[in-house]
Each structure stands twice: as C-alpha cells, then as structure tokens.
C-alpha cells in the first residue's frame, strides 16, 4: 500500500489550536502539506505551528475568530501569500454553549451558530472562490458531529449547526463538481474535554487518568480514542485518491469508520385528492407508527474494569 502524500499542497485548518483541529493540522503537515493554523487563541495557534515546524513540517499561525467574512478572506490570503496556493480547507473551529431550549439565551444560540455554521460558510465561500479561479480543483472538508446526525439533549444550537454543516456538504458537492472541488463532512468521535464531561464516561475518565489505554470495546463500540485516530480520514479526503468522493458524511473514531446515509423516505402512502387530518389519523397507526425513529445519540453500555483507578 503506497503512502498518501500531500506534497506541494496547502491546507487551512480552522480551530487548530487544540484537540481534533490540532490533530488534523499535524497530520496534514506530516503528509507533506503546508498548513495555515488558525485558532481564536493566538498562543495555541502559534504553539501548534511551531510544533509542526520543529517536526520538520511547514506551517504558519493565523489567529482569529471565524464567522466574519474578513477572517475567512484573511486565512485564504495568507495561504496564497505564504505558499502560493490553497488546495484544502478544513473547517473545524467550534464552540459549545449548551442548555435546554427554555433556558438557552440568544447570545448562546447566536455564538454557536456564528462560529460553526456561519464560520463554515464564510471560510468555504472564500476557499471555493479561490479554488475555482485557479482551476486546479480542491478539497473542502467540513466537520459535523453525531449531535447533528441524531440530535442531542441540551444542544439546540450545536445540533442545528452541525446538521446544517452536513447539508452544506451535500449542496456544495453539487455546486462545485464541475470545478473538481470535492466537499465532504467528517463526523468525528474522540476523547476530548466535551466527551470527558459526559456522565456515562466518568469510569472511562478514571481509567485513562490511571494511565490505562482505551479498552478495545470502547474503541470499537463507542468509536472513542485519541483525536489522532480521526486525522487519517482528513488526510485521505485531502488527497488525490479521494477525487471521486463528494457530498458524503463520513464518521471516524477509535477503530470505527462509518458512511452515513442521506435522509430517505421510510414510508409513503397515497390518497386520491389529498389527505384530511382525520384520514392521516386513521392511516398513521398501521402504515407509519412502526417506522417512527427515536431521536438522540444512543451509547452502548460501558463495561470496563478500572484497575488501580481512584
């Protein structure tokens, strides 16, 4: 199996100062890409870029909060100024402001939507304009979440934004196909500060704090491992070998790789002349009830031993 290389390519990764974004930036650099490292935290972005350079890669840090058009254009311009081209965009920047519907403030909703949804839009628009003008194709990799696929209690803003991002990928794949620009959504699962805060994972947190590795069952059934386990998919989708893949939502985490389905009609019934409310009520139990789907992320049981963990 030949090694996948990204030599002579330039990538922009937003939200790359820590966690998953950091893993994506480092993996792209190891594969040979020059990387523009973006993060709202200037020190974090600088540290990641410095680590890449120390390891023999090429990177530059560009701090800034995504969402504004000016920030998106700044990232694209820096890639062109420093490296002469832009081939790959990874829109990873994100923020959480969780709360149930009746307690969520306008500010909490707006910040998450601006960072995730508008940030993905403005950065992808700027990248698409440049890639189309150059005429050599490109790769736009947007980052979704299981919350956007299934919904998640207390995450009105985040789930809506992540669902919208997958819709971006399906729409932009159509619009950019003639320009040889692929657009795909990665749905990562990894052990981060967010997953560590899930009450059901408290025993796993104690296991890892004791220096134990991720159990095989966690890596397989829960698709959980280090952020670095998710970065190979980003490298693959950024490569020439993924030129035939676009408009897809692809999950990765731990030992698991998943291709998500597009929304599809589960049941269809027809009534000549249209339906009355009473006719719907009569048809629903027999034709539709059994096909109803549950909402929310379903976690398998966590059955692990915790030797010497306190």
Q: What are the tens digits of pLDDT across the range 139-151?
A: 999 999 999 999 9
DSSP output for 90-107: EE-------B-GGG--HH
Q: How far apart are CA 234 and CA 109, in angstroms?
A: 28
Distance of alpha carbon 132 from the chain centroid: 23
Flag whether pLDDT at 152 surpasses 50: yes
pLDDT of residue 309: 44
pLDDT tens digits, one per residue of 44-76: 999 999 999 999 999 999 999 999 999 999 999
Q: How far apart are CA 188 and CA 147, in angstroms?
A: 11
Q: Please say whether the beta carbons of 242 and 206 come within 8 A.
A: no
Between these two residues, 304 and 42, which has the higher pLDDT value? Answer: 42
Q: Dihedral angle at the C-alpha atoms of 51, 90, 231, 299, nearest 10 degrees?
A: 130
Residue 206 placed within a domain: no
- What CATH number did the domain enclosing 16 receive? 3.40.50.720
Residue 297 placed within a domain: no
The pair phi, psi for residue 234, each rounded to 5°, is: -65, -45
pLDDT of residue 303: 75
Which residue range(s) make up the domain with 16?
10-190+226-259
Q: Could you tell me the pTM of the whole model?
A: 0.95
Beta strand residue intervals within 108-193, DSSP E = 138-143, 181-188
Residue 270 placed within a domain: no
Q: What rounded mean pLDDT belongs to the chain? A: 95
Q: Which two tokens stand for residue 87?
A: 């081939």
pLDDT of residue 193: 82
Other Cβ atoms within 10 Å of 132 Cβ, number: 16
Q: How far apart are CA 118 and CA 304, in angstroms?
A: 40
pLDDT classification of 262: cutoffs 50, 70, 90: very high
pLDDT tens digits, one per residue of 181-240: 999 999 999 998 878 888 889 999 999 999 999 999 999 999 999 999 999 999 999 999
The tally of domains found in the chain comes to 1
C-alpha pair distances (Å), 227 with each of 188, 232, 249: 8, 10, 18
Catalytically annotated residues: 158
Arithmetic mean of pLDDT, 279-288 = 97
Beta strands at 256-259 and 249-253: parallel, antiparallel or unpaired? antiparallel
| Three-class DSSP category at 136 | coil
Residue 105 placed within a domain: yes
Flag whether pLDDT at 310 surpasses 60: no
Q: What are the residues whose beta carbons fall under 8 Å from the beta carbon of 256, sequence distance 6 or more?
A: 189, 219, 220, 223
pLDDT classification of 308: cutoffs 50, 70, 90: low
Residue 89 placed within a domain: yes
pLDDT of residue 194: 77
Residue 267 placed within a domain: no
C-alpha pair distances (Å), 24 with each of 28, 275, 286: 6, 50, 48
User: What is the Cα Rg of the chain in Å?
Assistant: 21
């Amino acid at each position: 199996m030949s090694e996948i290389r990204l030599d002579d390519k330039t990538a922009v990764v937003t939200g790359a100062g820590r966690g998953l974004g950091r893993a994506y930036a480092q993996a792209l650099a190891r594969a040979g890409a020059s990387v523009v490292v973006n993060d709202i935290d200037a020190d974090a972005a600088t540290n990641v870029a410095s680590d890449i350079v120390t390891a023999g890669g090429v990177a530059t840090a560009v701090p800034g909060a995504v969402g504004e058009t000016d920030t998106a254009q700044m990232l694209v311009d820096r890639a062109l100024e420093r490296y002469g081209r832009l081939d790959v965009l990874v829109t990873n920047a994100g923020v959480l402001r969780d709360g149930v519907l009746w307690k969520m403030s306008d500010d909490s909703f707006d910040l998450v939507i601006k960072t995730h949804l508008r940030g993905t839009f403005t950065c992808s628009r700027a990248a698409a304009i440049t890639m189309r003008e150059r005429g050599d194709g490109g790769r736009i990799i947007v980052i979704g979440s299981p919350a956007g696929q299934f919904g998640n209690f207390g995450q009105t803003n985040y789930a809506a934004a992540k669902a919208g991002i997958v819709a971006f990928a399906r729409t932009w794949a159509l619009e950019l196909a003639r320009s040889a620009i692929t657009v795909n959504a990665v749905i990562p699962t990894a052990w981060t500060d967010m997953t560590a805060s899930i009450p059901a994972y408290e025993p796993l947190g104690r296991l890892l704090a004791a220096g134990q590795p991720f159990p095989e069952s966690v890596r397989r059934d829960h698709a959980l491992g280090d952020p670095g386990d998710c970065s190979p998919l980003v490298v693959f989708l950024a490569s020439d070998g993924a030129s035939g893949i676009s408009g897809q939502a692809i999950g990765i985490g731990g030992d698991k790789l998943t291709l998500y389905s597009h929304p599809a009609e589960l049941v269809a019934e027809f009534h000549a002349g249209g339906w009355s409310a009473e006719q719907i009520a009569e048809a629903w139990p027999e034709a539709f009830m059994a096909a109803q789907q549950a909402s929310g992320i379903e976690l398998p049981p966590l059955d692990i031993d915790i030797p010497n963990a306190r």
